[in-house]
């Protein structure tokens, strides 16, 4: 059983997006996304863990017996997260201070164990790598979008402190939209729920539209051609 890479990428980015379709990993999606930069940083850290864990799980899947697979996966993921945690603390200390506790919590991010269990333990190394990458980028995309919307409405900036995460070359991303401050509620937890809700509704609306268009196109294609 092998799925074409194209489908894997499409699934990870959109059709089976971790946040918008699988509705997994909602805790970090809502807790960390008070700004676009935080969302991006969290997404990238998760992606790193996800890719490596997927590859490792795919490598050892033949050796690990069914009965103990979950503890083994957890130990694997926990070690990876600890490495990422220490690496961030060492090299991106400012970002680490912001994301802080949530990095350690990547261990319990159900998306990672979910991919290990549902995909990597049943597929080869290359598909698992692609799957991890696609899922991770999809997750990063979702977190960044939620973060940007909340940041824009809540504090009137976009990608504040992005240079701390990506280096001084990316300082151009930091945009100050207006100086009125913003609706504090959007930075608080209710704002996260509201934004996520509207985004989910938006995705479903879009999917329904696309589906309807595809059906009409198919109907036109199969319609008998008049002479």
Partner 1 sequence: MNGIAYHAERPFAAPHAHGGGKIGRAMLFVQLALVPATLFGFWLYGWPAFFLWAITLLSVLVFEFLSLRLMGKKQAERTLFDGSALLTGWLLAMTLPPWSPWWIGMLGAFIAIVIGKQVFGGLGQNVFNPAMVARVALLISFPLQLTTWVMPMPLASTLIPGVVDGLHITLGQTPLPDAMTSASLLGYAKTELSRGVDLAQALAAAHAPQISWLGVRAGSLGESSALLLLLGGLFLLATRVIRWQAPVGVLAGVLLPALLAHALAPEKYLGVESHLLSGAVMLGAFFIATDYVTSPTTGMGQLVFGLGVGLMTWVIRTLGGYPEGVAFAILFMNALTPLIDRYIRPRILGRTRSGKPVSPLSGADRAKKGA
Report the C-alpha dihedral over residues 93, 111, 125, 71, rounded to 10 degrees: 90
Residue 183 binds partner 1 (CB under 8 A): yes
Residue 194 binds partner 1 (CB under 8 A): yes
Element (H or E) spanning 175, and its range? strand 175-176
- The span of 32-40, 63-71, 121-129, 178-186 binding partner 1 (CB under 8 A) equals 178-186
Residue whose tokens read 């809540």: 154
Selection from 81, 141, 132 nearest residue 111 by Cα? 132
Among 171, 185, 210, 218, binds partner 1 (CB under 8 A): 185
CA atoms of 58 and 182, how far apart (whole Å): 46
Residue 188 binds partner 1 (CB under 8 A): yes
Query: In the numeric block, which tokens belong to residue 208?
Result: 């329904």
Quote the least distance from Cβ 181 to partner 1, whole Å: 9
Quote the least distance from Cβ 185 to partner 1, whole Å: 4
Residue 118 binds partner 1 (CB under 8 A): no
Residue 4 binds partner 1 (CB under 8 A): no
CA atoms of 191 and 63, how far apart (whole Å): 46
Residue 206 binds partner 1 (CB under 8 A): no
Residue 186 binds partner 1 (CB under 8 A): yes
Among 184, 206, 208, 218, binds partner 1 (CB under 8 A): 184
Residue 142 binds partner 1 (CB under 8 A): no
Query: In the numeric block, which tokens belong to residue 160?
Result: 């504040």
- The residues pairing with 157 across neighbouring beta strands, listed in sequence order, are 176
Residue 124 binds partner 1 (CB under 8 A): no
CA atoms of 64 and 72, how far apart (whole Å): 8
Interacting residues toward partner 1 by CB under 8 A: 182-186, 188, 190, 194, 197
């Amino acid at each position: 059983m092998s799925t074409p890479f194209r489908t894997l990428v499409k699934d990870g980015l959109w059709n089976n997006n971790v946040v918008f379709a699988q509705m997994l990993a909602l805790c970090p999606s809502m807790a960390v996304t008070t700004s676009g930069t935080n969302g991006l940083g969290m997404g990238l850290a998760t992606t790193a863990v996800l890719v490596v864990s997927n590859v490792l799980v795919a490598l050892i899947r033949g050796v690990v017996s069914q009965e103990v697979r979950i503890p083994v996966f957890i130990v694997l993921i926990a070690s990876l997260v600890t490495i990422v945690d220490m690496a961030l603390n060492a090299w991106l200390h400012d970002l680490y201070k912001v994301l802080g506790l949530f990095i350690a919590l990547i261990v319990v991010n159900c998306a990672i164990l979910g991919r290990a269990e549902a995909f990597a333990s049943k597929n080869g190394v290359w598909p698992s790598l692609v799957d991890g990458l696609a899922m991770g980028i999809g997750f990063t995309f979702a977190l960044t979008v939620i973060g940007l919307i909340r940041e824009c409405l809540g504090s009137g900036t976009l990608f504040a402190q992005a240079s701390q995460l990506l280096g001084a070359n990316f300082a151009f991303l930091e945009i100050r939209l207006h100086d009125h401050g913003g609706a504090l509620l959007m930075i608080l937890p209710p704002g996260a729920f509201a934004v996520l809700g509207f985004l989910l509704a938006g995705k479903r609306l879009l999917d329904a539209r696309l589906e309807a268009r595809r059906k009409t196109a198919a109907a036109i294609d199969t319609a008998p051609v008049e002479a």
